[in-house]
């Protein structure tokens, strides 16, 4: 992981080494970062991404969230059932799946963490064929996530 955490929009996380913050993040995104290069497989290429977003909410319903993702991406398949996690005092869940974007086969893992009626969602996405080397980095980076004191 990077030596120093990235602090942006009230959240802090140590990114995998070489990852860069993408300043062109969509509106409700607190932080978006990308791997240093694009990964390739036999059908195309994709630049691995981390997106941190936040929504109002008092309770995390991981099964409902995973169902929402499946509705949004008709080809989403759950490959990791929701599992409880605690990261730096924040309780939540993590789960993962696969989906296709055109010909690309992608692998995703989401962490949803709750603090003071806000749900923080960390979404990691990479080529499915390149997930194995990313998975340990994803877990290590997620374990450094924190929310700045108000």
Chain segment 54-110, per-residue pLDDT in tens:
999 999 998 898 998 889 888 999 999 999 999 999 999 999 999 999 999 999 999
Least confident interval from 6-15, 58-67, 119-128: 58-67
**How many distinct helices (H) and strands (E) make up the chain?**
2, 12
pLDDT band at 148 (very low <50, low <70, confident <90, very high): confident
Higher pLDDT, 147 or 74: 147
Distance between CA 13 and CA 124 in Å, rounded?
13
> How high does pLDDT run on average in the chain?
93
pLDDT band at 128 (very low <50, low <70, confident <90, very high): very high
pTM for the whole thing? 0.93
Contact 15, 106 (CB under 8 A): no
Tell which phi-psi region holds residue 18, choosing left (phi > 0), alpha (psi between -120 and 50) or beta: left
Does the structure show a pLDDT above 70 at 150? no
């Amino acid at each position: 992981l990077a030596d120093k955490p990235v602090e942006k929009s009230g959240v802090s996380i140590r990114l995998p080494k070489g990852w860069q913050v993408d300043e062109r993040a969509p509106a409700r995104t607190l932080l978006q970062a990308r791997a240093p290069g694009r990964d390739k497989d036999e059908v195309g290429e994709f630049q691995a991404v981390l997106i941190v977003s936040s929504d109002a909410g008092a309770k995390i319903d991981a099964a409902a969230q995973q169902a929402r993702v499946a509705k949004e991406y008709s080809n989403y398949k759950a490959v990791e059932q929701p599992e409880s996690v605690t990261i730096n005092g924040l309780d939540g869940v993590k789960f993962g799946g696969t989906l296709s974007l055109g010909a690309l086969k992608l692998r995703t893992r989401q962490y949803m963490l709750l603090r003071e009626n806000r749900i923080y969602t960390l979404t990691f996405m990479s080529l499915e064929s390149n997930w194995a080397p990313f998975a340990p980095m994803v877990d290590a980076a997620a374990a450094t996530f924190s929310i700045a004191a108000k």
